[in-house]
Structure 1
Amino acid sequence: MADLPAVLPLFPLPGALLLPRARLPLHIFEPRYVQMLEDCLKTPERLIGMVQPRKVPGGPPRLNAIGCAGRLTAFSETEDGRYMITLSGISRFRMVQEIEGFTPYRRGHVTWEGFERDRGAVETDAALDRDAFMDLLGRFFADQGLATDWESLKDAEDELLINSLSMLLPFEPEDKQALLEAPRLENRRETLVTLIEFAMRGGDEEMVQ
């Protein structure tokens, strides 16, 4: 925790989920986020906080309390000044207070307490029934008209499998936030299964209950 800063630049992007030990490719082109990236490259940590905005009735979107910080591990610049970057997930954080002014992009005071597991060993899911889970995925992908490399999924370790699906599957931003906030890998898998089953039932709330 001594290496993690108390202030982070924030990149609010609906539906873009980053999880610890996972990688998120991003396309940066808005001037304020190009400035954020250039400032990030000047810091020793090279961290950017991915956080989802949430809708507020009758008001502007607000930031969710929990996000995930990613370290800038790859980037390339195009001739017209855009960037293709990759963030590697380091740890979730909790917003303490947003910082007003001084930069064209948003920044926040954050705390890393409560997310020590994110900076530990790769997680496993002892309760995962892989055969049943893969069967559910097969039916979901067919239902949604999605394609994937099934051999890679079958061979993936628990954490890589569950986190990759959480990041890539087409769920709503509030569902992505629920996956982010799951305390353990097992909880995330349970949330993922619930979301998949909900989607396959056409979003019928009564059938899920």
Structure 2
Amino acid sequence: MVRRFSPAELPETIPVFPLPGALLLPRGRLPLNIFEPRYLAMIEDCMKTPHRLIGMVQPFEHDREETPRLRQIGCAGRLIAFSETEDGRYLITLAGVSRFRIAEEVEGFTPYRRARAAWRDFTRDLGEEERDPGFDRPGFLDLLRRYFDIAQLSSDWGALKEADPEMLVNSLSMLCPFEVEEKQALLEAPDLGTRRETLAALMEFAIASNGDDGAVQ
């Protein structure tokens, strides 16, 4: 069982890890392979804190600066698994805790970036798993099967049929090969039902695009 945080326990400042296309959602799991020296330092510093939180944030993908602009909303994850490889890499897993809004970046002497996090808009993330009363599992799985066919993806369909709606929708949002803007839209969805509708729309668009030119867009 991953530790559950109260709003008062969330830190004011967290390290942020800009990684295009990497999406973390509350109660999700994100494995990461850490090898850059600045992020190795970030992990070492994170493990010394009581909360062990790292903010996953997507940079603007067309910003080629050394310190690219960051999108305003990210998701903080608690470091729950860690191992070191023989060549000095860290293999970690983050458990999604809560989304946050970047209030401002914090200057300092760390080689990685830090931000002051505003949590107040996302207190729902700290509670029990979300429900989706409008979820039509058979229809959703039919759409998913067609999307997986054109995207050449495979899955354990038995597990998908049994998965709770939040786990199903959030796992697919994290794992499907969508563009950065699309991943950000899934992150910013205000509730599970909206995220499921956004996910379905992205899959339908990919299916339609495949019919036009034979490729997933």
TM interval, short-chain normalised: over 0.9
Q: 1:13 to 1:153 in 2, by over 3 A?
A: same
The one-letter code sitting in structure 1 at the alignment partner of 2:75 is C
Give 3-state SS (helix, strand or coil) of 1:75's partner: strand
Q: Do structure 1's residue 34 and structure 2's residue 40 form an aligned pair?
A: yes
Offset at residue 202 of structure 1 (A) = 1.1
The TM-score, its normalising length taken from structure 1, stands at 0.94
| Equivalent residue number for residue 97 of structure 1 | 104
In 1: Cα distance, 2:39 partner to 2:68 partner: 18
The one-letter code sitting in structure 2 at the alignment partner of 1:61 is P
The one-letter code sitting in structure 1 at the alignment partner of 2:171 is S
| Equivalent residue number for residue 45 of structure 1 | 51
Query: What does 1:33-112 correspond to in 2, within 5 Å?
Result: 33-55=39-61, 61-112=68-119
| Equivalent residue number for residue 207 of structure 1 | none
Q: Which has the higher strand share?
A: 1
Offset at residue 57 of structure 1 (A) = 6.8
1:179–1:191 Cα contact (<8 Å) kept = yes
Q: 1:123 to 1:58 in 2, by over 3 A?
A: closer
In 1: Cα distance, 2:147 partner to 2:8 partner: 43
1:93–1:111 Cα contact (<8 Å) kept = yes
In 2: Cα distance, 1:16 partner to 1:55 partner: 12
The one-letter code sitting in structure 2 at the alignment partner of 1:163 is N
In 2: Cα distance, 1:142 partner to 1:176 partner: 20
Q: 1:57 to 1:30 in 2, by over 3 A?
A: closer
The runs of 5 or more residues in structure 2 that have no matched partner are 1-6, 213-217
Give 3-state SS (helix, strand or coil) of 1:76's partner: strand
Give 3-state SS (helix, strand or coil) of 2:97's partner: strand
| Equivalent residue number for residue 123 of structure 1 | 130
Cα deviation, 1:16-40, whole Å, max 9, x if unaligned, reads 0000011100000100000000000
In 2: Cα distance, 1:164 partner to 1:55 partner: 23
Q: 1:111 to 1:134 in 2, by over 3 A?
A: same
Q: Do structure 1's residue 150 and structure 2's residue 157 form an aligned pair?
A: yes
Offset at residue 55 of structure 1 (A) = 3.6
In 2: Cα distance, 1:57 partner to 1:118 partner: 30
Q: 1:56 to 1:169 in 2, by over 3 A?
A: closer
Offset at residue 56 of structure 1 (A) = 5.3
Cα deviation, 1:150-198, whole Å, max 9, x if unaligned, reads 1111100010000000000000011000000000000000000111011
2:32–2:93 Cα contact (<8 Å) kept = yes
Q: 1:32 to 1:57 in 2, by over 3 A?
A: closer
Range that drifts further, 51-60 or 95-104: 51-60
| Equivalent residue number for residue 193 of structure 2 | 186
Residue identity over aligned pairs, in percent, reads 63
| Equivalent residue number for residue 12 of structure 2 | 6
In 2: Cα distance, 1:63 partner to 1:4 partner: 21
Offset at residue 100 of structure 1 (A) = 2.4
Q: Do structure 1's residue 132 and structure 2's residue 139 form an aligned pair?
A: yes
Offset at residue 61 of structure 1 (A) = 3.1
Note the aligned Cα RMSD (angstroms): 1.5
2:60–2:68 Cα contact (<8 Å) kept = yes
The one-letter code sitting in structure 2 at the alignment partner of 1:151 is G
| Equivalent residue number for residue 19 of structure 1 | 25
Provide the aligned length of Structure 1 versus Structure 2: 204
